[in-house]
Chain A
């Protein structure tokens, strides 16, 4: 405990608040766990150069998604980038509040607490967020992470006839799981589709209920 505080002496309060949330152990059963399903829109795929434009996230507890607890953050861009034009359009047209990267991260950490994070191709979204944290001189996210791509792959039967290492796009997963994809390509819309996909995948992986979180983490 002593070394724990020592190490973080210089971090701002919001980070300390966030860290403190992890003193509680996560519930054992999936149905009791709080998940935050998220998606980020970015200017590109370069972790160093590119920036997050928007973070969308939904809150998932007991098989329920509460719309009032949806998170949708739009981030100011320091430099002009042609890829950001579309999102600027949205911001301008709808007269949206934008945040600095720092404000967005503060809000985000305050929102996620110690929830298990879920995303499609999660590695990328998490890495983008971790790089943003790094720019503020902060450590990486401490949350457990689940990737719906990997989980979906585990629902496919184990057969030599299908490629075990195939990558499934969110569109493919949605089509196979019969999810309508009207909201594609907004961060919040994608987060919602991912959340529904996640629910369906978990149902497939745990036909007998009372599934445990650790089994999902093992798949990943």
Chain B
């Protein structure tokens, strides 16, 4: 019997191996192999699943008996040096890594960590090695990839030198802009000290530059700029044919290469100059390497929000949008490190997210080909609607479309559901996770005509049970991301009409807003989750952010203020409307911002949504700050209890 099994085992068809071969043949060096070779390899592949943050191998680990191809996801290749971790390369679909054991019996010199949940194909070296020996081009390609996997920023710079002195540097990694080394112009326009100013001026016009370096034996003596000529020759202090030496600024302010952009900006401000000279050792006594101008810095400012918005608007692939989003996260991280006010940060992040969503919708509309049958609006709900979405949390959204005759309703809805499916998927590809409760436009419950939405809100607000209140709290904070603003205004008006003098609804909303009691226990210790996946973690969203958000919503609704969705802004408005509670509301506004910042920092630190916090990792100062926030939440909940007279219901 056993023999039979073995016989079949070897003759078996292997559909999966065929699919793996189909995938591999799209990428080098596998495209150089013959079909049967590829199938033989595919049959021996191991499919490896790694979660975000998992390590595939560490620097110094013994080489695996296999190398890897990324089938889906992203893997960061990192090197640790002097306690600092540098990301050398990022591998995504079709990229290969972990090649060292293929060439040498050495331990890994780099680490490979999953940046996202990924699926890898592990290819046994034993099977692959004979192919390299037989196929020169395959071997050549692998050696090149191996070299580029292990390259570091230094070798990248030196590589350019092999070809030409004046080569433009490659695009650098999308790290935080200010901390990147400054890029300098190597093609220097220079003259000697005896050159006449008129000649220098002609040179400047011809080369279209604002400065000329005065050098002697490749050592910088001084620099002449537009401004120097204006302040000396134009005002008549010197004649125009005088030697440049007389009017140049000297000594030149010099720095060594490797200067960061931030340092360069500070140096220019300090010396009130617009050009820096880069020399070999950073003093004016060695060879000139290049010039850094203020203008070049501004132009190259890749992570400037305005530049990013332009890039989003031009993006034609989700891969590009995803890459831009990573740069946005760097920008966010930089803002938080520099303590830039939260109001400013959330506004910029909102605009960037908003532009991204708009772009995804535009692209989806292009894909559908037929234009929308009627006007519609795409509504972003929840945190993006409140302009509080800094990290990539879930996507919550809905569609409202213009009323159509009964007999056309179904077809119209089908069109918008199709659109919604594309947009939801597109957003998911960029990194906005699907909403776990399916609060997304692709859900037929949330893509409705204006009439249907009005009816829906009427139902929710006239018989407010727990679920209805929850839905209201999600749908009240919407922001129009795309489409016709008239439609969403109609919904807003409808909601305000319904809430007017609707004591039942307001009370229900108010009592739901104080449902999550103070997150501090009797002994002022933190209340942590008692069960589930996040046992012993502190749920920042449920216990702190939601209560303050809910409080802001019900209070502002009572005042019938529309078009303010941001929690901090809502409280600022409330402070204006109720001078007697000004102090409390302002501290609520502060609390909302502080919590948001706290969550964002936690999220960036742990590369997640920042919702759950491990208390042990907090510093004493952070804990005190958090506790102060809770006191404010407690106070505003007391105010709501009194105002809506809900003690009796509890």
Contacts of B471 in A (CB 8 A): 161
Q: Which residue of B lies closest to A63 (CB)?
A: B49
Whether, in the assembled complex, A33 has its beta carbon less than 8 Å from a beta carbon of chain B, the answer is no
User: Judging by beta carbons under 8 Å apart, are B13 and A106 in contact?
Assistant: no
User: Judging by beta carbons under 8 Å apart, are B434 and A67 in contact?
Assistant: no
Per-residue CB proximity of A100-130 to B under 8 Å, as 1/0?
0001001100110000000000000000000
**B541 shortest CB reach to chain A, Å:** 13
Whether, in the assembled complex, B51 has its beta carbon less than 8 Å from a beta carbon of chain A, the answer is yes
Whether, in the assembled complex, A53 has its beta carbon less than 8 Å from a beta carbon of chain B, the answer is no
Q: Which residue of A lies closest to B15 (CB)?
A: A188
Give chain B's interface secondary structure class. mixed
Whether, in the assembled complex, B459 has its beta carbon less than 8 Å from a beta carbon of chain A, the answer is no
User: Judging by beta carbons under 8 Å apart, are B434 and A176 in contact?
Assistant: yes
User: Judging by beta carbons under 8 Å apart, are B467 and A161 in contact?
Assistant: yes
Contacts of A74 in B (CB 8 A): 13
User: Judging by beta carbons under 8 Å apart, are B439 and A180 in contact?
Assistant: no
Please tell me which one of the listed residues B1, B44, B436, B439 contacts residue A67 in the complex, with CB atoms under 8 A apart: B44
User: Judging by beta carbons under 8 Å apart, are B119 and A110 in contact?
Assistant: no
Cα–Cα distance between A107 and B14 once the two chains are bound (Å) = 16
Cα–Cα distance between A196 and B72 once the two chains are bound (Å) = 12
| A189 and B12 in contact, given A67-B45, A159-B437 (Cβ under 8 angstroms) | no
User: Judging by beta carbons under 8 Å apart, are A110 and B437 in contact?
Assistant: no
Whether, in the assembled complex, A66 has its beta carbon less than 8 Å from a beta carbon of chain B, the answer is yes
Give the most central of B5, B15, B48, B437: most A CB within 10 Å. B15
Whether, in the assembled complex, B219 has its beta carbon less than 8 Å from a beta carbon of chain A, the answer is no
Whether, in the assembled complex, B578 has its beta carbon less than 8 Å from a beta carbon of chain A, the answer is no
Contacts of B13 in A (CB 8 A): 72, 74, 94, 96
Whether, in the assembled complex, B642 has its beta carbon less than 8 Å from a beta carbon of chain A, the answer is no
Q: Which residue of B lies closest to A209 (CB)?
A: B51
Whether, in the assembled complex, B428 has its beta carbon less than 8 Å from a beta carbon of chain A, the answer is yes
User: Judging by beta carbons under 8 Å apart, are A70 and B117 in contact?
Assistant: no
Cα–Cα distance between A21 and B45 once the two chains are bound (Å) = 27
User: Judging by beta carbons under 8 Å apart, are A64 and B47 in contact?
Assistant: yes
**A179 shortest CB reach to chain B, Å:** 8
Q: Which residue of B lies closest to A155 (CB)?
A: B436
Whether, in the assembled complex, B20 has its beta carbon less than 8 Å from a beta carbon of chain A, the answer is yes
Contacts of B119 in A (CB 8 A): 196
User: Judging by beta carbons under 8 Å apart, are B5 and A107 in contact?
Assistant: yes
User: Judging by beta carbons under 8 Å apart, are A103 and B4 in contact?
Assistant: yes
User: Judging by beta carbons under 8 Å apart, are B437 and A157 in contact?
Assistant: yes
Give the most central of A73, A162, A205: most B CB within 10 Å. A162
**A132 shortest CB reach to chain B, Å:** 17
Cα–Cα distance between A195 and B533 once the two chains are bound (Å) = 23
* Residues B539-565 near A (CB distance < 8 A): none
Cα–Cα distance between A73 and B5 once the two chains are bound (Å) = 11
Contacts of B51 in A (CB 8 A): 203
Give the most central of B13, B44, B119, B534: most A CB within 10 Å. B13
Q: Which residue of A lies closest to B14 (CB)?
A: A70
Contacts of B149 in A (CB 8 A): none
* Residues B1-48 near A (CB distance < 8 A): 1-2, 4-5, 8-9, 11-17, 19-20, 42-48
Q: How many A-B residue pairs have CB under 8 A?
A: 111
Please tell me which one of the listed residues A13, A73, A189, A200 contacts residue B16 in the complex, with CB atoms under 8 A apart: A189
Contacts of A71 in B (CB 8 A): 12
**A210 shortest CB reach to chain B, Å:** 13
User: Judging by beta carbons under 8 Å apart, are B45 and A14 in contact?
Assistant: no
Please tell me which one of the listed residues A70, A110, A183, A208 contacts residue B533 in the complex, with CB atoms under 8 A apart: A208
User: Judging by beta carbons under 8 Å apart, are A192 and B16 in contact?
Assistant: yes
* Residues B427-479 near A (CB distance < 8 A): 428, 434, 436-439, 466-467, 470-471
Cα–Cα distance between A161 and B467 once the two chains are bound (Å) = 7
Cα–Cα distance between A48 and B49 once the two chains are bound (Å) = 38
Cα–Cα distance between A208 and B46 once the two chains are bound (Å) = 24
Cα–Cα distance between A71 and B15 once the two chains are bound (Å) = 10
User: Judging by beta carbons under 8 Å apart, are B15 and A56 in contact?
Assistant: yes
Give the most central of A14, A68, A175: most B CB within 10 Å. A68
User: Judging by beta carbons under 8 Å apart, are A67 and B43 in contact?
Assistant: yes
Contacts of A86 in B (CB 8 A): none
User: Judging by beta carbons under 8 Å apart, are B470 and A68 in contact?
Assistant: no
Cα–Cα distance between A97 and B4 once the two chains are bound (Å) = 12
Per-residue CB proximity of A185-209 to B under 8 Å, as 1/0?
0101100100110011001011110
Please tell me which one of the listed residues B20, B43, B45, B437 contacts residue A161 in the complex, with CB atoms under 8 A apart: B437
User: Judging by beta carbons under 8 Å apart, are A67 and B467 in contact?
Assistant: no
Q: Which residue of A lies closest to B23 (CB)?
A: A182
User: Judging by beta carbons under 8 Å apart, are B16 and A182 in contact?
Assistant: no
Cα–Cα distance between A160 and B468 once the two chains are bound (Å) = 10
Contacts of A214 in B (CB 8 A): none
Whether, in the assembled complex, A11 has its beta carbon less than 8 Å from a beta carbon of chain B, the answer is no
Whether, in the assembled complex, A165 has its beta carbon less than 8 Å from a beta carbon of chain B, the answer is no
**A145 shortest CB reach to chain B, Å:** 21
User: Judging by beta carbons under 8 Å apart, are B437 and A162 in contact?
Assistant: yes
Whether, in the assembled complex, A144 has its beta carbon less than 8 Å from a beta carbon of chain B, the answer is no
Cα–Cα distance between A161 and B42 once the two chains are bound (Å) = 44
Contacts of A64 in B (CB 8 A): 46-49, 122
Contacts of A66 in B (CB 8 A): 46-47
User: Judging by beta carbons under 8 Å apart, are A183 and B19 in contact?
Assistant: yes
Cα–Cα distance between A182 and B72 once the two chains are bound (Å) = 14
Please tell me which one of the listed residues B4, B45, B437, B439 contacts residue A107 in the complex, with CB atoms under 8 A apart: B4
Cα–Cα distance between A159 and B13 once the two chains are bound (Å) = 45
User: Judging by beta carbons under 8 Å apart, are B49 and A67 in contact?
Assistant: no
User: Judging by beta carbons under 8 Å apart, are B43 and A107 in contact?
Assistant: no
**A211 shortest CB reach to chain B, Å:** 10
Contacts of B467 in A (CB 8 A): 160-161
Whether, in the assembled complex, B50 has its beta carbon less than 8 Å from a beta carbon of chain A, the answer is yes
Cα–Cα distance between A206 and B19 once the two chains are bound (Å) = 30
Whether, in the assembled complex, A178 has its beta carbon less than 8 Å from a beta carbon of chain B, the answer is yes
Q: Which residue of A lies closest to B44 (CB)?
A: A68
Contacts of A162 in B (CB 8 A): 437-438
| A72 and B4 in contact, given A63-B48, A180-B72, A189-B19 (Cβ under 8 angstroms) | no
Cα–Cα distance between A70 and B20 once the two chains are bound (Å) = 13
User: Judging by beta carbons under 8 Å apart, are A70 and B16 in contact?
Assistant: yes
| A203 and B437 in contact, given A68-B44, A97-B11 (Cβ under 8 angstroms) | no
User: Judging by beta carbons under 8 Å apart, are A161 and B470 in contact?
Assistant: yes
User: Judging by beta carbons under 8 Å apart, are B47 and A67 in contact?
Assistant: yes
**A14 shortest CB reach to chain B, Å:** 5
**A209 shortest CB reach to chain B, Å:** 9
User: Judging by beta carbons under 8 Å apart, are A67 and B4 in contact?
Assistant: no
User: Judging by beta carbons under 8 Å apart, are A157 and B436 in contact?
Assistant: yes
Per-residue CB proximity of A1-31 to B under 8 Å, as 1/0?
0000000000001100000000000000000
Q: Which residue of B lies closest to A166 (CB)?
A: B438
Cα–Cα distance between A133 and B414 once the two chains are bound (Å) = 46
Per-residue CB proximity of A70-107 to B under 8 Å, as 1/0?
11111000000000000000000010110100010011
Closest 7 CB pairs of A and B: A65-B47, A188-B15, A199-B49, A157-B436, A67-B45, A207-B533, A160-B467
Q: Please, could you name 5 A-B residue pairs with CB atoms under 8 Å apart, sorted by A?
A: A63-B48, A65-B49, A110-B2, A161-B439, A183-B16
Given A70-B12, A73-B8: 13 more A-B contacts, CB < 8 Å: A66-B47, A70-B16, A72-B12, A74-B13, A103-B8, A107-B9, A157-B437, A159-B436, A161-B438, A161-B467, A175-B425, A182-B19, A200-B49
Instruction: Show the binding face of B for A, using Cβ within 8 Å.
Output: 1-2, 4-5, 8-9, 11-17, 19-20, 42-51, 72, 117, 119, 122, 425, 428, 434, 436-439, 466-467, 470-471, 533-534
